[in-house]
Amino acid sequence: MKLFLGLFAAILFTSAFSKSINHDKVCTMCIDFIAKASAGILEHEDDFRQNGGKMCDVLTFGNAELDAKCRELVKDKVDDIIQMVRDSKSPKEICTSVKFCPSE
């Protein structure tokens, strides 16, 4: 699972155009991550529970303050994320629910 998360983190990181925090990019990257990782999340739920915060390394571009908040959100919402993937919620719905994307 660590390899799985690392692979998707690398894919998402290379799609970022700059190191500046851009909330639209964070939202887009979250959506991309969930879209690409959904099957793996369900196949490796326990690993995702333990290592899900690693997606924060990518989504926050190494910003310590945002990374801490991201990890807290993921930790608090990991079961919700897994359940939403099980319920076939869209990546946009999932990312909005965990506050990586703005509510419409």
Round to whole Å and give the CA distance between 15 and 93: 21
**Does a structural domain hold residue 104?**
no
Read off φ and ψ for residue 2, nearest 5 degrees.
-60, -40
Considering the entire predicted model, what is its pTM?
Answer: 0.65
pLDDT at 91: 94
pLDDT at 86: 93
pLDDT at 21: 54
Range of the domain at 57: 2-97
pLDDT at 17: 36
Which residues of the chain, if any, have pLDDT below 50?
3-4, 6-8, 10-20
**Does a structural domain hold residue 25?**
yes
**Does a structural domain hold residue 42?**
yes
**Does a structural domain hold residue 103?**
no
**Does a structural domain hold residue 88?**
yes
pLDDT at 50: 79
Round to whole Å and give the CA distance between 101 and 30: 8
What total number of domains does the chain contain? Answer: 1
